[in-house]
Amino acid sequence: MKTLPFLPLALAGLLLSGCGTFERDWKKSLAEYQSGTVAAPAGPWTGSWTTATNGHTGDLRAIVTPAVGEPGKYDFRYHATWGKLFSGTYLVRFPVTSRGNRYLANGEKKLGLFGTFGHKASISKNSFHATYSNDSGDLGNFEMKRPE
């Protein structure tokens, strides 16, 4: 196929398209968190992702916000790195339920060419742990905490 060499470029363009606005929104979310105006599960999170099935790993940040017009749902905007060269953002919206001092965010979302993303998160005041899966059979973890 002649289009295959262009596939990595197209994927990189898709992933990189939201990086500039993520940085601006990250700074705003961090300032709001530091001022005490947001509480779990909302606000900024930072840590890493690891795919258990192949050992790949990278840095991960998230901005979590209540979904506008959808009570009980939150937007999870992730910014991940792959190696030292690539990074990208993606947004998923999941219902969040409260269980004691924890919040649970479980759901699935189709991410176009990247298939279906499954997400099961447990979030407390200062800790964010999630497992994820995709159509390719990859299984992994997100481990994040509040930024300092």
Q: Which domains does the chain have, with CATH numbers?
A: 4-145 (2.40.128.120)
Model's pTM, two decimal places?
Answer: 0.83
User: For tokens 């192949």, what's the residue?
Assistant: 54
Which amino acid, one-letter code, is at 130?
Answer: A
* pLDDT in the model for residue 127: 97
Please tell me the predicted confidence (pLDDT) of residue 2.
Answer: 40
pLDDT score for 130: 96
In the predicted structure, residue 10 carries a pLDDT above the cut 70: no
pLDDT tens for residues 97-139?
999 999 999 999 887 877 898 999 999 999 999 999 988 888 9
Asked, as a colleague might, if the bond just before 71 is cis with ω within 30 of 0, I would say no
